[in-house]
Structure 1
Amino acid sequence: MAREPDIAALGEEAALQWSLVNTPLGEDWSGRARYAAAMWFYRRGEMDAGTLEVYRICSRLDRQDPLPIIRDRGVGKEWLERMGSAS
């Protein structure tokens, strides 16, 4: 489960994107919402290309958690730490 950041410190847009990248698994269109938010973080330099690719692959799979795949591929170490699942 993602650690909740200090929303006030993030700013309104960042807080929105953080909530979208953490959209619960299984909700309709949740994979696409997570990918769209991941693209936002990537464009800001807060996510690497390998991590973004996993979100792209999972974008049509609303029930697929991208974090285990990111971990298995050995990419996105900083992102996993930020999401609180670096183990």
Structure 2
Amino acid sequence: MDEESRHQWELIRTPAGVEWSGRARYAAAMYFYQKGIMAADVLEVYRICSRLDAEDPLSVLRRWKIGEDWIEKLETTVK
């Protein structure tokens, strides 16, 4: 994994509640979307949550029952 990808994986895992975390996660989500790693519906959840620092996009994905492949990839990719 290259340095940029590793950095984006760190950003997408920014914990909920950290100031500007929603925007950081959305920026990383856009990176993964542009690389073809993330589906458009999952990116939309990150967009919606981008202004809600306290909202965990993974919780939203689970509630809405979408993005199972993304959740699995996020949970199994090297941390």
Sequence identity (%): 55
Query: Do structure 1's residue 11 and structure 2's residue 12 form an aligned pair?
Result: no
Secondary structure of the structure 2 residue equivalent to 1:45: coil
Larger radius of gyration between Structure 1 and Structure 2 = 1
Which residue is equivalent to 1:4?
Answer: none
1:30-65 deviation digits (Å, cap 9, x = unpaired): 000000000000000000000000000000011100
Query: Do structure 1's residue 46 and structure 2's residue 25 form an aligned pair?
Result: no
Which residue is equivalent to 1:75?
Answer: 66
> Normalized against structure 1, the TM-score is what?
0.81
Stretches of structure 2 lacking an aligned partner (at least 5 in a row): none
Equivalent position to 1:22, from 13, 17, 24? 13
Divergent runs of 4+, >2 A: none
CA RMSD of aligned residues (A): 1.3
Structure 1 residue 70: Cα displacement: 1.0
Query: Do structure 1's residue 63 and structure 2's residue 54 form an aligned pair?
Result: yes
Distance (whole Å) between structure 1 residues aligned to residue 12 and residue 38 of structure 2:
12
